[in-house]
Amino acid sequence: MWSVLWAAVRSKAPYVTFPVAFVVGLVGYHLEWFLRGDPPPTAEEEKSISEQREDRKLQEITGKDLTKVVSLKDKLEFAPRAVLNRNRPEKS
């Protein structure tokens, strides 16, 4: 008799555990919301990380002459030194 009972419990376990887990999650969500209360009002919404990065880059390049760049012929260090430095002739 016990084996029949355990087989039934095993086969019906997903149908029992899902509603129980759903109710526990719902109660926990509303309890947390009740305990924390409303979030404090902010004067200005926070900017996203990408917006902050763009603002920082704009501040860095403000006042620089962007037309003056290093020529690729003069710039030999295009790869990490440890990788290609063995076979590269020394700059004279």
Give 55-80 pLDDT, tens digit per residue.
999 998 888 888 888 777 777 666 56
Print the domain residue range for 14: 1-85
Region class of 82: left (phi > 0), else alpha (psi between -120 and 50), else beta: alpha
pLDDT tens track for 15-59: 888 999 999 999 999 998 888 887 766 656 677 889 889 999 999
Whether 92 is in a domain gets the answer no
For residue 53, what pLDDT is reported?
92
CA angle 37, 43, 48 (to 5 degrees): 90
Residue 2 lies in a domain: yes
User: How many structural domains are present in the chain?
Assistant: 1
What's the rounded Cα separation, in Å, for the pair 91 and 74?
Answer: 10
Quick check: is 91 in a domain? no
Longest dimension (CA), the chain: 92
Would you state the pLDDT for residue 86? 63
What is the signed CA dihedral for 82, 83, 86, 89, rounded to 10 degrees? -100
